[in-house]
Chains A and B, each alone.
Chain A
Amino acid sequence: MPNDSVPGQKRILRWLQTNQGIGFVLSLVLFLYFIFLQLSPWVHEKLRDGFSLGFFPLTGIVLMLLFTVTLIFDGERNKVIPDLTKMSGRSFLFCLAVLAGCGLYFSLIVSIGFLLVSPFFLLAFMYLLGLRPFSHCIVSGVVMTIIVYVVFRLIGVRLPSGILPF
């Protein structure tokens, strides 16, 4: 399909999947963060050896900015990042849901206990990822939880017990 017939929105989306697009977005974010740091009072505090407290964090930001700007202009700027084109909104949301699920799982094991929460976390996760039949999810969830618990206890690492005495 010729480039002209690609609607504007799609063209922008395609550009954002190139090294140049990524470089541009990252440069913008880093530039804004650089300004934010410059406006933070702690950055300009002087240390005993003459350095300002923000010298090294700012150096890190400047170096990152330098390389993201390089992405905008170097020889591979128009190259489309293959993995990015394959990434759908659904997959991205799923990743965020996994991270949120991990956060929830962790807060529950602290309050209720590792042994009580983990089988449910595992079986739900396995089921969501397509493991069938459901009985396999239940058995695997319980067995894996027990194995991990025993291994950690043998090594001497304590796991959150929650409402259980052990």
Chain B
Amino acid sequence: MINVDAILDAFSLVLTFRVMYWLAIGITIGVGVGAIPGLSASTGIALLLPLTFAMDTASSLGLLIGVYKGAVYGGSISAISFATPGTPEAAATVYDGYKMMQRGKGKKAILMALYASVTGDTLSDVITIVVAPLLAIVALKFGPSERFWLMVLAVTLLGALSGRHLAKGMLSAALGLFIGTIGSDPIGAVSRNTFGLWWLEEGIHLIPVVIGIFAMSRMLEECVDLLKENKTVQSAKSAIMSAFTTGSEGLSFREYLSCWKEMAIGLGVGSFVGMLPGLGSTVGAFLSFSVAKQASPHKKIGTGVLEGVAAAESGNNATVGPTLIPLLAFGIPGSSGAALIGGALMLHGATPSPMMFELYPTVVYSLFIILFIGNFFNLAIGRFFALFYARLGQLPRNLLIPLIVMMAVIGSYSFQGNPYDVVVMLVFGFIGFGMRLFGIPDAPLVITFLIGPMLEASLRKALLINRGDWFEALFKSPLAVVLFVAAIVLTYISIRLQVHERILSVSEEEDAEQSGL
């Protein structure tokens, strides 16, 4: 299975100035995107996705993975500096990080967040590099029936785990499936479901959809917030400046090592959560924080200690690599970030599928190398520019929203010069805004939109092979039956576990403790 030639090719492709340059740019932008409240990794990747069309595959992966890694870490900077998590995944970092900032130990907390993020991320990348090829071997044994059930399993898990309300998560997934049918059917190429519009006959492209859902809709939401309360990040310039002055207390190597247990918890929990479709880095951070708190009650996690920062930050960054495992092994993205990276691979002709390792080994190994090297860039950029990012987090919303809206418009147009893509982006911006308003998660929509045509093609191929016999097509192979049962059992378990309810209760408990202090 290990293709040495492809690995060597990947090294020669990645270890060039051009790719390293884009990786550094990606992380620089990513940490900034993460540090600015209201923007997320998905927003950053969605906005930059059209630009990758003009790049080579390795450079585009460098840019997007850089943004992804940088943004997941970057959220901690504003979480610690002014108690406003830059991204949802940094919310658990506020509990200990901001208290440390108030006590004048902000620099220590930010450095711990950086080192824990990089540690969790690097080690989880190793897990990704080991696990993904092994699962890909299993995936090669799958026929159309098994692939169909695997995708059903992924879609139901996504729907069940993506939000607090099962019906809303599933509704989002069903909407993604429906939108995926717009255009032409994947077997006969006959146009369908085009609402009578000729320009929809080729279907809807991923780029305007993701820009609409992840960038435009969020900016509409920010506009509403701004109008409502004229919301601006409270100035905390003096506190931030004092935290970063040379005299303020840094982090010793001994202190970093003292948090090994919490980082290990973050690594384990984050990697596992990352591999499951639908959970994502916010759940990774909160679960790690919660497990670490229960595992070591004497450390008083949640009261402003390094261990809390380490657990949360290691937990959220440890999801970054493993979230790509289902994408690389089965062609099924497990999160919106993975879906966007899958979209970038599709743009460059390397459509994610169970044959990824067979068909595009150089691309997969390039991605692994970029994942790994990206951590060192993250470490360097985070270490030297943390103050700059803390200040960036205070950028006024009314300066930022117009810029992102402009980027959304020109980004959706520029990648294929089609004016209708702008219309699609605006429509999905409005749909995404409505979904956020109603509390419907957006990740299942994007992921099922991406895998919907594959799901349909697998079912129809299975039926063709079995001469139209539905029972034979769906349940002939024992593996298909196992996957069918797993879809039901895992969905039931995930509903019973009420992961989001538990996370909410952790968050409420911490908020109550904080207000009581």
Chain A residues proximal to chain B, CB less than 8 Å = 19, 22-23, 26, 42, 45, 47-51, 53-54, 56-57, 59-61, 63-64, 66-68, 70-71, 74, 76, 81, 83-84, 86-88, 90-91, 94-95, 98-99, 102-103, 105-106, 109-110, 114, 118, 121-122, 125-126, 129-131, 140, 144, 148, 152, 155-160
Once the chains bind, are B167 and A90 in contact (CB under 8 Å)?
Answer: no
Once the chains bind, are A98 and B175 in contact (CB under 8 Å)?
Answer: no
Given contacts A47-B187, A48-B188, A157-B54, contact A81 B403 (CB under 8 A): no
Pick 21 A–B contacts, CB within 8 A, sort by A. A47-B190, A53-B192, A54-B193, A56-B177, A60-B175, A61-B178, A63-B177, A70-B170, A74-B167, A83-B436, A84-B438, A91-B228, A95-B224, A98-B223, A99-B220, A103-B423, A126-B398, A129-B223, A129-B226, A131-B396, A157-B53
- Say whether chain A's binding surface is mostly helix, strand, loop, or mixed: helix
The answer, yes or no, to whether B55 is at the interface (CB within 8 Å) is: yes
The answer, yes or no, to whether B463 is at the interface (CB within 8 Å) is: yes
Once the chains bind, are B414 and A67 in contact (CB under 8 Å)?
Answer: no
The answer, yes or no, to whether B419 is at the interface (CB within 8 Å) is: yes
Given contacts A103-B422, A152-B410, contact A67 B171 (CB under 8 A): yes
**Chain B interface, number of residues (Cβ within 8 angstroms):** 66
**Residue in A26, A63, A95, A159 whose beta carbon sits within 8 Å of that of B414 in the complex:** A159
List B197-241 residues whose CB lies under 8 Å from chain A. 216, 219-220, 223-224, 226-228, 230
| Measured CA separation A91–B426 after assembly (Å) | 17
- The closest CB in chain B to the CB of A96 belongs to B430
Once the chains bind, are B51 and A81 in contact (CB under 8 Å)?
Answer: no
Count of inter-chain pairs, beta carbons less than 8 A: 172
**Residue in A47, A53, A64 whose beta carbon sits within 8 Å of that of B174 in the complex:** A64
| Measured CA separation A74–B430 after assembly (Å) | 27
Once the chains bind, are A67 and B167 in contact (CB under 8 Å)?
Answer: yes
Nearest 5 A/B pairs, CB to CB: A60-B178, A129-B398, A125-B402, A63-B174, A67-B171
Given contacts A70-B167, A131-B396, contact A57 B181 (CB under 8 A): yes
In the bound complex, residues from chain B placing their C-beta under 8 Å from that of A106 are 409, 413, 419, 422
Give A141 Cβ to nearest chain B Cβ, in Å: 8
Once the chains bind, are B178 and A102 in contact (CB under 8 Å)?
Answer: no
Given contacts A90-B227, A95-B220, contact A121 B468 (CB under 8 A): no
Give B216 Cβ to nearest chain A Cβ, in Å: 8
Given contacts A67-B167, A95-B433, contact A131 B399 (CB under 8 A): yes
| Measured CA separation A118–B413 after assembly (Å) | 15
Given contacts A47-B185, A63-B177, contact A144 B54 (CB under 8 A): no
Once the chains bind, are B223 and A94 in contact (CB under 8 Å)?
Answer: yes
| Measured CA separation A159–B55 after assembly (Å) | 16
Once the chains bind, are A95 and B223 in contact (CB under 8 Å)?
Answer: yes
| Measured CA separation A59–B423 after assembly (Å) | 26
| Measured CA separation A77–B405 after assembly (Å) | 35
In the bound complex, residues from chain B placing their C-beta under 8 Å from that of A51 are 185, 460
| Most B C-beta atoms less than 10 A away, residue of A76, A102, A105, A131 | A102
List 5 additional A-B contacts (Cβ < 8 Å) besides A91-B228, A122-B406, A159-B410: A68-B171, A81-B439, A95-B220, A102-B405, A130-B398
| Measured CA separation A129–B227 after assembly (Å) | 7
Once the chains bind, are A156 and B54 in contact (CB under 8 Å)?
Answer: yes
Once the chains bind, are B437 and A155 in contact (CB under 8 Å)?
Answer: no
Once the chains bind, are B406 and A121 in contact (CB under 8 Å)?
Answer: yes
